[in-house]
Amino acid sequence: MAKRRLFDWVNGALLAFISLLFVIPFLVLINQSLMSNDAILRYGYTLIPKEVVFYAYRYLLADSVFIYKGLLVSVAVTAGGTFLCLVFTCSLAYGLSKKKLPYRAGLTLLVLATMFFSGGLIPHYLLVVNLGLRDSLWSLIIPALISPWYMFLMRNFFMDIPPEVEESAQIDGANELRILAWIVLPMSVPSIATIGLFYMVGHWNSWFAASLFLNSQAKWPLQLVLKAIVTNLDFSSNGGQSQALDRMIKMPRESVKAAATLITALPIVCVYPFIQKYFVKGMLVGSIKG
C-alpha cells in the first residue's frame, strides 16, 4: 500500500512537471503580448508582465480591418472544408472497408501510393490553375478533400464494426447508403471527431496554399492576413539606423507577433475540450487493426 501511494505521488509530480513545461510557454506568450516593445527589449521574456498595455491587440483588432474579413474567410473555409473532407473521407473509407469490393486491393494500393509519392508543387499549382480554381476559396478545399492517412484510420475503424450489425440492417431492407448514414456513422463518432479535429486544425492553420492561389486580399484567410501584418512590421524598420531603432522601439513588433499567435491558436484551444473525450478513443481504435 505504501509503495502504491509513493507511486501515485511520484507519478502526479511527474505529470505536473510535464504539464508545467507545456503551460509556461503560453504564459510567456500571453505576458509578451501584454507588454510594450520597449519593455520587452528592456526586461526580455518574463512570466509576470512588468507593465500591462494593449497596444498589440489594439493594433490587430482595432486598426486593421482585414483581420475581421480574414476571420470570416478562415471560419468559412475551416467549417466547409472540414465537413466536405469528412464526407469524402468517410465515403471512401467505407467503400474500402468492404472485403467484397471489386479490385479492393488495387484501389487500396493506389490510395496508399499517394502517401509516399506526390507530383510536387509545380504540377499541383498547374492543376489548380487549369481547373479554374485560382483566386477562389475552393482552391483551399478541393485539393485537400481526402488525406490518405486519415482515410486509412477511418477505414480501420469501420472494419472493427461487427458485420452482424450491417447484416441485420440489410435483412430489414436497408441499402448501403442508409447503413452508412444511420448505423455506421453514429457508431463511429469517436473516430469522426478525432479526424475532424485534424482536418479542422489543418484548414485553420493553412496559409501557404492561400498565398499561392489567392490574389484578392479580401479572400485571404486569417493566417495569411496576420502573416502579412507581421511581415509589414518587420519591413517597416527599413531606412536609416537611427530611424530603424526609433521605429522598432515605438512599434509593438514583438508583442504583435505574440498577440497574433494567441489569436490564431485561441479558436482551436476553445474547440478541443468539447471533443477531447473522443480523441484518445478514436486514435486507439482506428490504429489497432491493419
What percent of the chain lies above the pLDDT cut of 70? 87
Task: Kindly state whether residue 3 falls inside one of the protein's structural domains.
Answer: no
The residue type of 252 is P
Task: Kindly state whether residue 6 falls inside one of the protein's structural domains.
Answer: no
Contacts of 45 (CB under 8 A, 6+ apart): 28, 32
Q: Domain span at residue 212?
A: 56-286
Burial class of 278 by CB neighbour count within 10 A (0 to 12, 13 to 18, 19+): middle
The model's pTM: 0.80
Task: Kindly state whether residue 250 falls inside one of the protein's structural domains.
Answer: yes
The residue type of 1 is M
Long-range contacts at 104-109 (CB < 8 A, ≥ 24 apart): none
pLDDT of 282 above 90: no
pLDDT at 63: 65
Contacts of 155 (CB under 8 A, 6+ apart): 93, 94, 96, 97
Task: Kindly state whether residue 119 falls inside one of the protein's structural domains.
Answer: yes
**Per-residue pLDDT reduced to its tens digit, 142-164:** 998 999 999 998 998 888 888 88
Task: Kindly state whether residue 109 falls inside one of the protein's structural domains.
Answer: yes
pLDDT of 288 above 90: no
Long-range contacts at 246-253 (CB < 8 A, ≥ 24 apart): 248/37, 249/37, 249/38, 249/41, 250/37, 250/38, 251/37, 252/36, 252/37, 252/55, 252/56, 252/59, 253/37
| Weakest-pLDDT range from 44-58, 82-96, 126-140, 276-290 | 276-290
pLDDT at 290: 43
pLDDT at 171: 82
Task: Kindly state whether residue 208 falls inside one of the protein's structural domains.
Answer: yes
What CATH number did the domain enclosing 221 receive?
1.10.3720.10
Task: Kindly state whether residue 41 falls inside one of the protein's structural domains.
Answer: no
**DSSP structure string for 264-286:** HHHHHHHHHHHHHHHHHHHHHHH
What percent of the chain lies above the pLDDT cut of 90? 23
3-state secondary structure of 214: coil
The residue type of 281 is K
The tally of domains found in the chain comes to 1
Task: Kindly state whether residue 102 falls inside one of the protein's structural domains.
Answer: yes
Burial class of 61 by CB neighbour count within 10 A (0 to 12, 13 to 18, 19+): middle
